[in-house]
Chains A and B, each alone.
Chain A
């Protein structure tokens, strides 16, 4: 590999000021199984970071800890406050669209507003987000009548509806075909830039991680540990041509090597 591998030694940053998510020796066990073991990282505000690793390395567990959905050991702060439960500034998206079949696309997007007790006022904003994710003319369709890709678009619009500035995405397009996935990834980048959100994106695809992220947190399986961080400092906005550049390939191989060294 090249001499200047974009690797960075991993210690929790101390700057604090500009970091959005800071994890310090975070661990999680399910019974006697250690899922996440002493993980530390810091994600600066507005960063897009990918959480990469093989299946069962605890990356989804880590994401749910940041979301405040499961208890953990160690310290985890978000916007300089310890994570103690779900927060309104955090939005989640899952591998399955998790749409409610009895609600239309629009009503599903309105769900965050409904739960917070104001639905009517937000209808136009919800329609706006549906159009933003490319679902014009399907606003009132029910999930049953939408393709898998369209359902995930609704799910993305619902995420935007939360108004969250920390987006936690758990393999959001993992169940979709390659073409749809690529298209949605590009739209995700556009939206990330537009809402200026800090994003954590769980994936097990190396090229997807390098294409999307500013930095890639590489995780090792059983127990889940952080192997290191690889920077992907490419210009934005990015398009699919980025994948053709030697810099992109170098970064992919750097990640691959780090994964290879840890398995």
Chain B
């Protein structure tokens, strides 16, 4: 499974440009979008019902934020996203590990995994409320079932990708099964696993919000729904923008974790590690040169 946002970044060539220019381009684009928005609502091109002016959205946001309403509901939604993501991702990863070791398990369980994936999880939501009540639990489970598959398929793909000769090398060195897993298969799979995790974290947010749409007493999904029913568009936009920011932050955190853990795909991190090791072992190097 590819990572759509990362692909977009590469295709847009943003990473090849120097950063001051990049920042300026982004700021200008943002200003232009904002300007069109302001003009469109001031000139009455679109009804305020559909697109309220930015100032009004900001005011609504400040209203919600200063009364602590936003923070309360945000906390609920974030908890559902976090718990759903952890459960779904961990479940997907563990099943992938078992399946990578055990071909029979793979062939027996696989059809059910695919069936789960092709069933629209949103359609399960009403049933989840029958099974699990009306608290946070059905939302967490919904988020988890949506998160689960990208991590499962990416982990399994990554773990099965082990280079044949590298595996023979490990066996010829007398490596145990667990050494072959932890020192060869797992690190090799990490880049692919992280692509799955990045997809999943965004999906977890969708799962939690959809769950709140179906039935909720609290959460950002509930707020959006309530404001929409009240035709309070500016408040709905304020919540929506909050969700966008949350989505970006969650994705950004996964991206950071990816860069940190999968350091070998990044030249700057590799150079840094090389220099660090060289200075750390400088004394040993001198000792060896003297002996030679």
Please list the residues of chain A having a beta carbon within 8 angstroms of any beta carbon in chain B.
64, 67-69, 86-88, 90-92, 94-96, 98, 100-102, 104, 106, 111-112, 114-116, 123-124, 127-128, 131, 139-142, 144-145, 162
Contact status of A115 and B270, CB under 8 A, knowing A92-B169, A127-B285 = no
Q: List, in ascending order, chain A residues with CB within 8 A of B275's CB.
A: 140
Interface residues of A, dominant DSSP: loop
Query: Shortest distance in angstroms between B163's beta carbon and chain A's nearest beta carbon?
Result: 7
16 A-B pairs in the complex with CB atoms less than 8 angstroms apart:
A68-B172, A69-B168, A92-B169, A94-B165, A96-B165, A102-B263, A114-B183, A115-B170, A127-B284, A128-B292, A131-B288, A139-B278, A140-B275, A140-B281, A142-B273, A144-B267
Report whether A92 and B174 are in contact in the complex, using a CB–CB cutoff of 8 Å.
Answer: no
Contact of A123 among B172, B273, B278, B284 (CB under 8 A): B284
B278 A116 Cβ-Cβ under 8 A: no
In whole angstroms, what is the CA distance A31 to B184 when docked? 29
Interface of B: prevailing SS: helix
Take A94-B165, A123-B284, A145-B270 as given contacts and tell me if A100 and B184 are in contact as well, using a CB distance cutoff of 8 Å: yes
- Interchain CB contact under 8 A, B171 and A142: no
Verify B183–A115 contact, CB threshold 8 A.
yes
Given A144-B267, A145-B270, A145-B274, CB of A139 within 8 Å of CB of B285 = yes
Residues of B in contact (CB 8 Å), total 32
**Which residues from A are CB-within-8-Å of B264?**
101-102, 142, 144
- A114 to B165 Cα, complex, angstroms: 19
**Inter-subunit contact A111/B173 (CB<8 Å):** yes
Chain B positions near chain A (C-beta within 8 angstroms): 163, 165-166, 168-175, 179, 183-184, 187, 263-264, 267, 270-271, 273-275, 277-278, 281, 284-285, 287-288, 291-292
Task: Given A140-B274, A141-B274, check contact A69 B184 (CB 8 Å).
Answer: no
Q: In the assembly, what is the distance between CA of A123 and CA of B288, in Å?
A: 11
Q: Which residues from chain B contact A128 at a C-beta distance below 8 Å? A: 288, 291-292
- Is B274 within 8 A of A64, CB to CB? no
On whether the beta carbons of B172 and A69 are closer than 8 Å, the reply is yes
Return chain B residues, CB-CB under 8 Å to A114: 183
A-B contact count, CB below 8 Å?
90
Residues of B near A64 (CB, < 8 A) are 168
Q: Given contact pairs A98-B165, A115-B170, A140-B273, enumerate 13 new A-B contacts (beta carbons under 8 Å).
A: A67-B172, A88-B174, A100-B184, A102-B263, A111-B183, A115-B183, A124-B288, A127-B285, A128-B291, A128-B292, A140-B277, A140-B278, A141-B274
Provide the residues of chain B in CB contact with A95, threshold 8 Å. Answer: 165
Residue of B nearest to A67 (CB): B172
Closest-by-CB residue of A relative to B179 is A115
Chain B residues whose C-beta falls within 8 Å of the C-beta of A145 in the assembled complex: 267, 270-271, 274
Min CB distance B244 to A, Å, is 35
Taking a contact as CB atoms closer than 8 A, the residue among A104, A112, A144 that contacts B173 in the complex is A112
Evaluate contact between B174 and A116: CB separation under 8 angstroms.
yes
Would you give the shortest CB distance from A100 to chain B, in whole angstroms? Answer: 7
With a CB–CB cut-off of 8 A, which chain A residues contact B173? 86, 111-112, 115-116, 162
- Residue in chain A with minimal CB distance to B280: A140
A98-B166, A127-B288, A131-B292 known; A92-B172 Cβ under 8 A = yes
Determine if B270 and A144 form an interchain contact, defined as CB atoms under 8 angstroms apart: yes
Task: For A92, give its contact among B168, B284, B291 (CB under 8 Å).
Answer: B168
With a cutoff of 8 Å between Cβ atoms, the chain B residues found around residue A101 in the complex are 264
| Chain A residues whose CB sits within 8 angstroms of the CB of B170 once the complex forms | 115
* Nearest-CB residue, chain A, relative to B163: A98
